[in-house]
Amino acid sequence: MAKTILIIEDDNEINSMLRTLLRTNGFQTISAFSGTEGVLVHGGNVDLILLDLMLPGRSGEEIVGELKKKKNVPIIVMSAIHDTSKKVDLFTLGADDYITKPFDNDELIARITARLRTVSGEAAKPAAMTLTYKSITLDPDNFHASCNGRDMDLSRHEYLLLQLLVRNHSRTCTKSMIYDTVWDYENSADDNTLNVHISKLRKKLKECDPDTDYIETVWGIGYRLKK
């Protein structure tokens, strides 16, 4: 059954764009154009909320707690504000994630999917589905990876990075998406750390499958698996 996303965004063009994007990706949508309307329409059929901060009447910050009390579903805040302290305040109020405008559409869909997966418990099911891409095989239950029939000795972060790339093999994984998913907001994650892990992954994949290049760089954006 398709998940329902509540979009609380007062800009008509952005609201319409989000509706189209979400429906194209298999979600159902409900739209609200003010904070008050958002609280009113939030209900039993809503699975996740996209919340703009700058709303007429009651702001996004004012209604985060009320939305959570009415039905506790993941809330992803959308804002052009880059202030780190503001983001921390929003997490304290109850927001589950934060994406800065203008955002990459693929990244937004990936964040939505990740939040819904966490809520449904799919990531913790005892019999997780084996992931495959070309000669790569991943066993999420046991953090086990193999390529071309050979076992790979990966660190935790290397495994999570490869798993993220395989899960999203049809799209580019942005650096922000990788940091949030693989390092889970750890301050230790930066471009140098990511580059080192990508380099190690490439080397280990090459050792297993010398004739194939798996990971390619999308300059200035992130990484993806070669098609």
> Domain limits of the chain?
4-123, 126-225
Predicted local confidence at residue 128, as pLDDT: 55
How do residues 109-135 score in pLDDT, each as one tens digit? 999 998 898 776 644 444 457 899 999
Q: What architecture does CATH give domain 4-123?
A: 3-Layer(aba) Sandwich (3.40)
Using 50, 70 and 90 to split pLDDT, how confident is the model at 220? confident
Tokens at 227, concatenated? 């098609």
Predicted pLDDT of residue 9: 95
Length of the chain in residues, anyone? 227
Q: How many CB atoms are closer than 10 A to CB 122?
A: 12
**Domain at 126-225, CATH class:** mainly alpha
Per-residue pLDDT reduced to its tens digit, 135-190: 999 988 778 999 999 999 999 889 989 998 998 888 898 888 888 778 765 455 67
Q: What residues form DSSP beta bridges with 100?
A: 79
Tell me the C-alpha to C-alpha distance, in Å, between residue 225 and each of 48, 136, 213: 29, 11, 9
Cα-based distances in Å from 192 to 173, 176, 179, 214: 17, 14, 12, 20
Q: How many Cβ atoms are within 10 Å of 124's Cβ, its own excluded?
A: 11
Place of tokens 């983001």: 87
Classified as helix, coil or strand, 124 is helix
| pTM as predicted | 0.55
**126 preceded by a cis bond (ω within 30 of 0):** no
As a whole number of angstroms, the distance between CA 205 and CA 134 comes to: 12
Which two three-digit tokens encode residue 225? 């698996």
